[in-house]
Amino acid sequence: MFMVPVFYGPDRAPFYEAGRMLWRYRAELAPLYWFLGCLLGGAWLHSAHPGWWPLVIALGVAGIFLLALRPASLIKKFPILERWRVRLWGAGFVAAVSVWLTFATIHGATAGPMELLAALGTGVFAVPWLWREDRRRLTRVRIIRDHFPETADAAGLTGARMVSAVMDKWGWTARIRLRRGQTYSDVVKALPDLESALGARVGSTRAEPVNDDASQFTLRLVETDPHAQPIVWEPRPVPVLGKTRASITQPVTVGVFEDGEPITIPLLRKHVLIGGATDSGKSGLLNVILARIAECTDTAVWGVDLKKGMELAPWRRVLHRLATDNDSAEQLLQAAVDELEKRAEFLMARGRREWYPKSDAPQLFILIDEFAELSKKAQKLADSIARRGRAVAVVLIIATQRPTQKAMGEASAVRSQMNVRFCLRVNERPDVDLILGAGKLNAGWDATKLDGAGKFFVSGLGMDIPRRGRAYLITDADVTETAIAYQRPGSVTAQEGAQAVFGSPDSPSAGFSGGPESIGAPPAVSGPEMALWAALRDAPAEGVTAGVLQDATGKGRAWVYKRLKAGQADGTVTTPGYGRWRAVRPQPAAGVDQQADPSEAAGHDPEGGHADQP
């Protein structure tokens, strides 16, 4: 019998620790591994396959060409290859190894000065490999990982240990396992102490909970602040002939998180609240959101700017309606409520629950700057829109400094109805909970530490982790260029032109009765679908002809007949006589509350709506 050596039991530790160290520091020891690999590979090729030297040359040439061509799949897997210096080093390394292996295959790995040449080549290529900045950073992170128990103990998180760590462009991110009984709330309180223990700059650490494991959290250290400088605005390319424009049904990008990930926000049937102190960047963020909305073909925007139009004036080419005092704001919001109710009635009659925006039936945004300055009547109208407007795609975008109950209206539900909330820098800690919701401050959403204009936290569906973002910097020139590129027919600017020609203050283009500062008449935002339905609904018992419906909708005969046939198929349109049409008025079911919200009483279309629906 003979004994087989095994590496477990009391004698296992030295071998285990040695193997663990060789693997953990594989990047630092890579030059040694290159040297040994070349010697072993050259010896094997010379003894077993000395005729393979042409294959070695071919593989080397292929590797150099691969680095020169930079295929997208290779760049995606190894982003560092985007740098020309790295590609140059890689090409030289591949060439040197292939030449040495070729001679080693023919003459042997230890013939003459082959070993010395291998050692010299290893030293030459090891210097830039080990001196790379990210290599030095990786070494620092590994040292921090090894000594993290002592660091955690100094920060009051005794027993915590670092499970894993990865580097990125601006710092590193680690997964930390806490001692039993510790929670994410303890981490939030200990962040300043943890910064001190790590020797990091003030405000450079971020903590995020791990939702599926309460005993862990994600620690991020920002060594180089990616938000230190403004982020240049990235407009969507203006569509050319044959290209489709953006749609509000897709999320829009408003900025960049600290890890470089774009901040995409869903605005389809979503109310938006923007809060922050003076000079925190509310106007800049509002301009970015407006620019993204302007890029979408299925949107319409009305604006309320009680600073005499100073903030929204550059967007006159995009806005269909602009109110600059409380009287005109009340009229605008009343028109929005009327539109909301028409849409709700339309959806209920057609058996649908939600409005699907299209270019001729857009989502209507009501933009309100400085909500607290609105009159009581205007706030009440805004409250009605906040409660009922989501399903029918009539939504609010509100900017305010402190959305207190008094500022938003004592009996108002506006704040509670906001689906997406942006919190820029605030001066008082309780304002965080006012903007983002109760409990956010204690959960790590401390916006008092935001140190630059345009930096914010964003909360909404799927955005329940406190991640710092910064909005794109959009200049006045960018605003003007975007407004010109996406100018809307019937916008405030177009109406001003009509007023200049006709000059009648009583004409519809002369604006609201609120005064000369408020300009614009409401466009037909409902679209031809609702015009068709209104004509069918109001038709007499004998019905109306297709020609009448064409005049009412402004659409051609084929379009009208397609919708009429669809209405017949779903039982909402009938023909009382040859060539005549009218709507079938649904009878309320017994026991149904007649006062129920029509937007909630409508049926749901499981197929996502018909082809003719808004």
Tell me whether residue 279 is annotated as binding.
Answer: yes
156: left (phi over 0), alpha (psi -120 to 50) or beta: left
**pLDDT at 527 (0 to 100):** 74
Tell me whether residue 283 is annotated as binding.
Answer: yes
Identical fold at 233-510 and 528-583? no
The DSSP bridge partners found for residue 172 are 167, 221
Domain 233-510 belongs to what topology? Rossmann fold (3.40.50)
Domain 528-583 belongs to what topology? Arc Repressor Mutant, subunit A (1.10.10)
**pLDDT at 200 (0 to 100):** 84
**pLDDT at 498 (0 to 100):** 47
Cα dihedral: 524, 525, 529, 530 (round 10): -80
DSSP-based three-state secondary structure for 469: strand
pLDDT, tens digit, for every residue of 122-167? Answer: 999 888 887 765 666 677 787 888 888 999 999 999 999 988 887 7
**pLDDT at 358 (0 to 100):** 86
E strand spans, 383-527: 394-400, 420-424, 455-459, 469-473
From residue 337, alpha-carbon distances to 386, 413, 448 in Å are: 10, 16, 36
Domain residue ranges of the chain, discontinuous segments joined by +: 23-131, 136-222, 233-510, 528-583
pLDDT, tens digit, for every residue of 250-309? Answer: 999 999 888 778 899 999 999 999 999 888 889 999 999 999 999 998 999 999 998 888
Q: What is the DSSP letter of 167?
A: E
DSSP-based three-state secondary structure for 177: strand
Tell me whether residue 278 is annotated as binding.
Answer: yes
pLDDT, tens digit, for every residue of 25-62? Answer: 777 788 899 899 999 999 999 999 999 999 999 999 99
Q: Write out residues in the chain with pLDDT < 70, as ranges.
A: 1-13, 76, 79, 132-137, 237-244, 404-412, 494-526, 585-614
Tell me whether residue 282 is annotated as binding.
Answer: yes
Tell me whether residue 276 is annotated as binding.
Answer: yes
Q: At what angle do helices 476-485 and 282-294 cross, to 10 degrees?
A: 20
Q: What is the DSSP letter of 544?
A: E
**pLDDT at 579 (0 to 100):** 85
Cα dihedral: 21, 25, 28, 34 (round 10): 80
**pLDDT at 425 (0 to 100):** 92
Cα separation of 129 and 558, whole Å? 70
CATH class name, domain 136-222: alpha beta
**pLDDT at 611 (0 to 100):** 38
What would the two tokens of residue 356 be? 């699907």
